[in-house]
Amino acid sequence: MGIYDTLNTQQKKAVLQTDGPVLILAGAGSGKTRVLTHRVAYLIDECNVNPWNIMAITFTNKAAGEMRERVDKIVGFGAESIWVSTFHSSCVRILRRYADRLGFDNNFTIYDTDDSKSLMKDICKRFQLETTQLKLRNIMGSISRCKDNLVSPEEYALSTNNEYNKVRISKAYTEYQNALKKNNAMDFDDLIFKTVELFKTNPDVLEAYQDRFRYIMVDEYQDTNNAQFELIRLLADKYRNLCVVGDDDQSIYRFRGANIRNILDFEKVYPDATVIKLEQNYRSTQEILDAANAVISNNYGRKDKALWTDQKDGDKVKLVEFDTGEDEAKFVATDLGKLKRSGKLNYNDVAVLYRTNAQSRLFEKWFAAEGIPYNVVGGVNFYSRREIKDILAYLKVIDNGQDDIAVKRIINVPKRGIGATTIEYVQEYAIERQISFYDALCEADQIVAVARSASKLKDFVTMIRAFRTKAKSYSVEDLTKDIIDVTGYMKYVETLDEDEEDNSGDNSRKGNLDELISAIVEYERRVEEEGNETPSISGYLENVALISDLDRVDEDGEKVLLMTLHSAKGLEFEHVYLAGMEEGVFPSYMTLQCEDSDPEGIEEERRLAYVGITRAKKHLTLTAARRRMVRGETMYNRLSRFVTEIPDNMLENAKPQSSKPAFLFDDGESIDEYEGVESTYGKSRRSSSFDDYDGPSLKSSYQNKSFGSNSGVSQLSNSYKLKAKPAPKKPRAVPQSKPYIAGAAKTHSKGSLAGLSKGMPMAASKPDYNVGDKVSHIKYGVGVVTSLEEGPRDYKVTVNFDDCGQKIMYAAFAKLKKV
């Protein structure tokens, strides 16, 4: 039997369709990696395509390495010549050859988020760009979005319409790009932004790469942004042999700039495209897939498809509801302990998934109490730790003397008696002479203001020059060890406070430095084995800069993984606990706040739920708490719509840990005494009272003017039954569920449950702003109030923000400040 005979019909079709534009809609667990590797092998083996002419883009370095290994096993040769890498790695390789065409040296530094933030702080201070109202993160977020959409500083300046904040962002953007160029540095967004600029301004370079990449494949196409779309469009424009693989139902990175329209509109861009669907799932049981299909079918913006599998007779999806988040975490810990003791699982086959990182705390507490080993994915990044960034900064300065941010980081680390005032004088001298900060240090004896510190500055320069000389003959490992030794850094870290925030984790700082050396040794070994380049400082720094979150997932050891749903993308586990399945938690409260003005937000949250469900291979447990502590407040939330969209017959409803919600109104009166509430809180939502209901939708009951009455609450409870619908039908609307704040209910009589039903805190008084006033929000920046409506519990505010458009929110939560 040939290697292609092991593929199913649709997989084989995807492998054999090699010419022209091809869209492969690959559902979760449908074997897309297998298809891609067999497709590459088919091009080489059967179509006689030179491996040199094949490009494959993946979203993680780990995926790129796995693809190359698999192809090598199939074809036996040529795999090393295939260009397999991530978008950013590909762009770095191109820019290392042609950055000089854009005015950079080819050994440019890649700035991480902290480097970029430090640079922007300097710019805002130097140009007096006040950041109290317009936060630094808003400025940087706007610049990042500009680059994702290929908008240059000059183009952005033309679009400000003299709006105050946009003018300030424009100034910051211009000066930020100037400073990056002066430092011979690019930030992460620049890597693609500048490569597209290179291709558009240098037709000869573009054509050279078009002729090389005659067959292009792109994985995870649903997560591409506009800049990535344009990059691929340019490269594929000559030969048009473009194959994109993705699943619109798993597009979950809109907050990072991903544009789902790239995959949904592929056939509009390429009208002659061949579309192939991979719907057979090889990961999960049919019971899990049925639940996933039921949830995602409620989305409008998707291509119609449904996952299926030959794996029958699996367990139903389990739903367990609790009184508190504490109870939820305790249950998961004890349940895992029981299953482990009975030999039904290994800890490394388990993942606990949640919407936000903050939810991990209770699980960590109870896992520790139960003695369950765990690893929190997405904690403090190893390469973000203070001691690691310090040593990497030394390597950056040795490699690129123009990097002002790196020089300033280490000039007094370990302490050399060089203070902030001295650094400021040197900076002023550098700006006045239009030279780099390091070059200014080299001229320290000419700076009158730093005469007393000149010898210390010159000693620092002498040390860096000595390291640069050693770098010509030392390995990266030996040079790094020499830096730690010569600078006395190991003794320095012993004096640091071990309890500082950036040193969270089990390892000491000295242990982290040892681990850094190990990572460098591993890098040098891998590069030498591949034989494509020589290990170097710039190569290692590039390797560190391009490591993604998923590349860092530690799958070794007998540990349960705790991670956000976004971190779980691309992974699979025998047992999955999907926690916090409540309105206001998942979907998130901010998404519910903006549901009217941004309906796509709910669709993205639903796709995230779909991703979470499809991580499970055999066992999936959904958990929810009726109340949980959020930012110091007790929130009461209804069951998530992503649970209610799953039909009753697909769920095994486990008995809740307690039958009552454990909060009281006045003088010991339980909320269970009131009509209608028991069916929502006291009993399972699968109560028989729901089964025959065919009344109004939740939207209509939510908008009922008598919503605060007992009958209104009863109507809400009875209408809470939702059935899954096929994609073409309009999903039944669900209210913007808002969390209830403990204590607010005491302002109401027994007969009025408006506080619970609406789930909002009572605003103390009318806000101090009116329609037409300019206000500031901690996340969205500055905007103008366009509407202010008084409600039964709070004021509903509509604001047109300068940077992100219209948002609708409630005054008590928005915490808007009048500008």
Of 322, 338, 432, nearest in space to 661 by CA: 322
To which residue do tokens 């560190």 refer? Answer: 544
To which residue do tokens 């080489």 refer? Answer: 44
Of 21, 61, 14, 57, nearest in space to 35 by CA: 14
Mention every residue, 6+ apart, whose C-beta is less than 8 A from residue 414.
Answer: 487, 488, 489, 491, 492
Q: Is the sign of the CA dihedral 300, 305, 311, 312 positive or negative?
A: positive
Six-digit token string for 178: 């100037």
Element (H, E) at 35: helix 32-45
Six-digit token string for 355: 């919407």
Q: Which amino acid is at 497?
A: D
Six-digit token string for 221: 């196409």
Of 114, 86, 121, nearest in space to 392 by CA: 114
Of 506, 501, 503, 481, nearest in space to 493 by CA: 503
> How many CA atoms does the CB half-sphere of 810 hold within 13 Å?
23
Q: Give catalytic residues, as residue numbers.
A: 32-33, 219-220, 250, 615
670: exposed, middle or buried (Cβ count in 10 Å: 0-12, 13-18, 19+): middle
> How many CA atoms does the CB half-sphere of 718 hold within 13 Å?
16
Alpha-carbon separation of residue 722 from 288, 595, 681, 683 (angstroms): 18, 19, 17, 17
To which residue do tokens 């990175």 refer? Answer: 253
Judge whether 148 and 786 are in contact, CB under 8 Å.
no
Of 354, 285, 347, nearest in space to 317 by CA: 285
Six-digit token string for 382: 């190893």
Helical H segments across 55-86, by residue range: 61-75
Alpha-carbon separation of residue 145 from 190, 256, 360, 529, 804 (angstroms): 11, 9, 30, 39, 10
DSSP 742-771: TTGGGGS-TT--HHHHHT-PPPSS--S--T
Judge whether 582 and 324 are in contact, CB under 8 Å.
no
DSSP 756-813: HHHT-PPPSS--S--TT-EEEETTTEEEEEEEEEE-SSSEEEEEEETTTEEEEEEHHH
Angle, helix 386-399 to helix 476-486, in steps of 10 degrees: 110
Residue 639 is classified by DSSP as B
Of 547, 498, 490, nearest in space to 517 by CA: 490
Six-digit token string for 439: 């070059």
* CA 402-123-544 angle, 5° bins: 50
Of 309, 302, 254, nearest in space to 283 by CA: 309
Mention every residue, 6+ apart, whose C-beta is less than 8 A from residue 239.
Answer: 210, 214, 215
Q: Give the phi and the psi of residue 760 in degrees, each rounded to 5.
A: -125, 150
